[in-house]
């Protein structure tokens, strides 16, 4: 039995995953009908993708550049959820080892609002 190994790992948004899956689906459609799992994954991505892949990448970069976010994984979560209120942001940061202030939350929400 052959094992596959992860050569590279990168956090991506739902919008970016949708773009990738759309390309994969197009290629697979040329050869055969899409598998149930592929169709379900595409439906999920289409339903929950809130931005284009390009907009999502820009927003991730902008959020990751904020000192209170600072990491791509947190920025990706914020972009996927696109929180509207401070409690939603606070929930995303609940497992972090630092406390986020109301001012920092407001700054995050203002950046996200620019992309709605």
What CATH number is given to the structural domain containing 72? 1.10.150.80
pLDDT of residue 64: 97
B/e letters for 52-87, b = 16+ CB within 10 Å, e = fewer, are ebeebbebbebbbeeebbeeeebbbbbbbbbbeeee
Please state the rounded mean pLDDT for residues 28-53: 92
Q: Is 94 domain-assigned?
A: yes
Mean pLDDT over residues 3-9, rounded?
82
- Do the domain assignments include residue 1? no
- Whether the pLDDT of residue 108 is over 70: the answer is yes
Residues in the chain, total: 116
Is residue 2 in some structural domain? Answer: no
Which residues contact residue 111 at a Cβ distance below 8 angstroms, ignoring those fewer than 6 apart? 59, 62, 63, 66
Task: Give tens-digit pLDDT for 79-94.
Answer: 999 999 999 999 999 9
Is a pLDDT exceeding 80 seen at residue 71?
yes
Task: State whether 42 and 57 are in the same domain.
Answer: no
pLDDT for position 67:
95
Average pLDDT over residues 99-111: 96
How far is 97 from 1, CA to CA, in rounded Å?
42
CA–CA distance from 97 to each of 9, 72, 90, 101 (Å)? 24, 16, 13, 13
pLDDT at 59 over 80: yes
What pLDDT, on a 0 to 100 scale, did the predictor assign at position 1? 58
Domain that residue 73 falls in: 53-113
Q: Is the pTM of this model over 0.85?
A: yes
């Amino acid at each position: 039995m052959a094992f596959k190994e992860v050569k590279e790992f990168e956090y991506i948004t739902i919008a970016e995953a949708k773009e990738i899956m759309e390309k994969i689906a197009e290629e697979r459609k040329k050869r055969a009908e899409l598998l149930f799992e592929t169709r379900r994954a595409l439906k999920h991505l289409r339903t929950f993708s809130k931005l284009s892949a390009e907009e999502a990448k820009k927003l991730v970069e902008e959020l990751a550049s904020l000192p209170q976010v600072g990491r791509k994984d947190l920025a990706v979560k914020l972009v996927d959820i696109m929180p509207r209120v401070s409690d939603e942001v606070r929930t995303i940061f609940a497992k972090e080892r630092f406390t986020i202030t109301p001012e920092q939350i407001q700054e995050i929400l203002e950046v996200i609002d620019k992309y709605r």
